[in-house]
Structure 1
């Protein structure tokens, strides 16, 4: 079923794109085509050629060796204009943000006063005042953008979250093994020497405190007495069978495996960053658990590391002593003003992006990223607090945008 959802969504989206309703809407918009369609003619510098009566503006986003900037060449009656020009470009982005550029002459071209930030997806309005006459052009220049109806997004499992502050955790990775504490092992002996007349448990059985383990007939009294479990746990040793003589040696070992300890090796270069109480993210194959450092102990046999002991809950008994374990110790928590969930990030061209949502419209937002942990990444630029961005199934948005063949042409 997981594979059917995206396929269903793509098929439905394709059908909607070709529906009579949308075709009718396209016909209604035909009267605005002159203003809404991007110019197709290119000028000698490779920019868009805007023509109206006797005035021409070639407008280009130039980004070779410099941050993206507007450059323009203005002519009247075919003559280049180097003064007396009032040129303005206003960009309206998805969500309503407006960027305005005024132009000053630089000797060879007119230069806009600012950086044209990515994505280069906006509604464009160009205004030229020349010798007391005003000229205006408008068109849509969209890239990295798609529309998905709310019901289709819901069926596809597309979910969004609001961008805001977060906590980034810096971690130190350590390794070790699971073990038991000495107090978690109880060895059961016979109180009096005698013959084992009954054994009630097998190796690996779970027992509760007070459960019958075996019965012994005393050599002195010839009376039978019970051996019972002193604690809840698992029978990890059984050294006796019916008919054997019980002496001083342990007959059973009962081990509490419902609580284990991860003993993580902290080397000298790490020791100053580690303290009792710090949070640890424990991981093994098929296992993840969050806990805290309970003790810091010298290693046995004078080994060159400290043992960080972390209590591990094992209520189902699925973990066993000796299991190799990785522990990411949280050594610092950074409170950042803006962060996104890591699962929302997608590669797009040369960027790491998220996809913002405004109504039924989704669009890329290339991000400048800061520190990251296993869950969140700080955002240094490219997104605003309060923006809604796609968290679940963001790859579907990416696939739809790439399917549409969105260009990066100015």
Structure 2
């Protein structure tokens, strides 16, 4: 090979080596840029601490060279994460760190957020107990036929409201027809006995017949009257006010109320112990309450109570009418009863209920709505308005209860520390602010 050829190969090899070196230098510069940018963003995920300072210094020169090539992050993207004044996130980052939020008027209106004023008020301290809504056992009537029979007609249906004396159904009864026949026979025998006695009495007075015949006629009348009275009592006991002619028998409503059970159909043969209808007076309901042993000294007959259950529109106010004297051996609790008068139909027997019994009434210097209390980072907070922002302010809670024992029973909480009288706070829908505070972008200080 000639010397010119060797020179040419050396020149090509040198150029390739120079190109590889240049690419390595550019790669190192880009890597340094990414690393420094990564650290400026705070996304090290712990890896940044693992690098020693020497490695960091080695990349600084490459980063400067990358900036010289036009890869400066601040110029290339129009914002500098290292300068809070130039980054829109930095404007509110401190406020979010302190638990503050800014919501536009539109967001406040759309979320249904209610602003209230903290101040002094009464707190009816309540004891919360579990319960179950039940029928008023004193207002329930079971309608059964007094004699067996077949249903001829059914006049009332399940859910119908009835008045005392209304005919519920009509039965045909052979037993009743037999009792009616016996009464008619006894009545005829009594009529004949009375006529015979009258004739014998006249003859005896005229001394036409013997006294013996007169006395026998009088005895027959007495026996006929007893027989007639007995037959009438049997028929009355069997049919009551529903007795009719020809074996017809009417089932009568014994009280005003609503039919809550019905077990009869036309043609059905019913025995005398069949529970045909159940009528309940729903103008009052009972709430059976469980009172644990530790709370027995706080509950007394006559105390006001508020009852809530799933699906009920608002708490219903009642009173404790009964407190048991014997504890259940299983759970060491006593039974109590709260009576609700004219409750909403949503308070249906069978529903589990929560019962708040009023045990004490106190005057508190600062009270807020119970809806205002939220839990943030394991602390009770109230969102207090400060200018155009809301601060999640930690509070120390006092006694809980109702605002007015004689009224609607709105739930309030005494504030021992954290909110002063006169401050504005979020009551209804305060959970919306808690949700906003917990969003991931809140940690970066996004303004709302």
TM-score by length of 2: 0.48
CA distance in 1, matches of 2:328, 2:421: 54
User: Does the alignment pair 1:383 with 2:419?
Assistant: yes
User: Which of 398, 407, 419 is residue 370 of structure 1 equivalent to?
Assistant: 398
Alignment check: 8 A CA contact 1:353 1:365 kept:
yes
Alignment check: 8 A CA contact 1:163 1:340 kept:
yes
Would you tell me which structure has more helix in proportion to its own residues?
Answer: 2
Q: How does 1:299-310 map to 2 (within 5 A)?
A: 306-310=334-338
Paired residues in the alignment total: 265
Q: Computing the radius of gyration over CA atoms, which structure comes out larger, 1 or 2? A: 2
Tell me how far 1:173 sits from its aligned partner: 3.9
Q: How does 1:344-363 map to 2 (within 5 A)?
A: 344-348=372-376, 351-363=379-391
CA distance in 1, matches of 2:425, 2:269: 72
Check 1:196–1:280 CA distance in 2 against 1; reply closer, same or farther (3 A cut): same
Runs (5+) with no aligned partner, structure 2: 1-93, 181-244, 403-410
CA distance in 2, matches of 1:345, 1:387: 15
Matching residue of 1:233: 258
User: Does the alignment pair 1:159 with 2:114?
Assistant: yes
CA distance in 2, matches of 1:400, 1:267: 39
Between 1:256-265 and 1:367-376, the stretch displaced more is 367-376
Give 3-state SS (helix, strand or coil) of 1:272's partner: helix
CA distance in 1, matches of 2:344, 2:420: 44
Tell me how far 1:186 sits from its aligned partner: 1.9
* RMSD of aligned residue pairs (Cα, Å): 4.0
Would you tell me which structure has more strand in proportion to its own residues?
Answer: 1
Check 1:376–1:405 CA distance in 2 against 1; reply closer, same or farther (3 A cut): farther
Give 3-state SS (helix, strand or coil) of 1:336's partner: strand
Tell me how far 1:268 sits from its aligned partner: 4.3
Tell me how far 1:273 sits from its aligned partner: 1.2
Between 1:260-269 and 1:347-356, the stretch displaced more is 347-356
Tell me how far 1:234 sits from its aligned partner: 1.6
Alignment check: 8 A CA contact 2:122 2:364 kept:
yes
User: Which of 284, 290, 293 is residue 320 of structure 2 equivalent to?
Assistant: 293
Alignment check: 8 A CA contact 1:173 1:327 kept:
yes
Tell me how far 1:319 sits from its aligned partner: 1.9
Alignment check: 8 A CA contact 1:194 1:246 kept:
yes
Q: How does 1:164-179 map to 2 (within 5 A)?
A: 164-179=119-134
User: Which of 230, 234, 246 is residue 222 of structure 1 equivalent to?
Assistant: 246
TM-score by length of 1: 0.52
CA distance in 2, matches of 1:386, 1:153: 21
Runs (5+) with no aligned partner, structure 1: 1-140
Matching residue of 1:208: 162
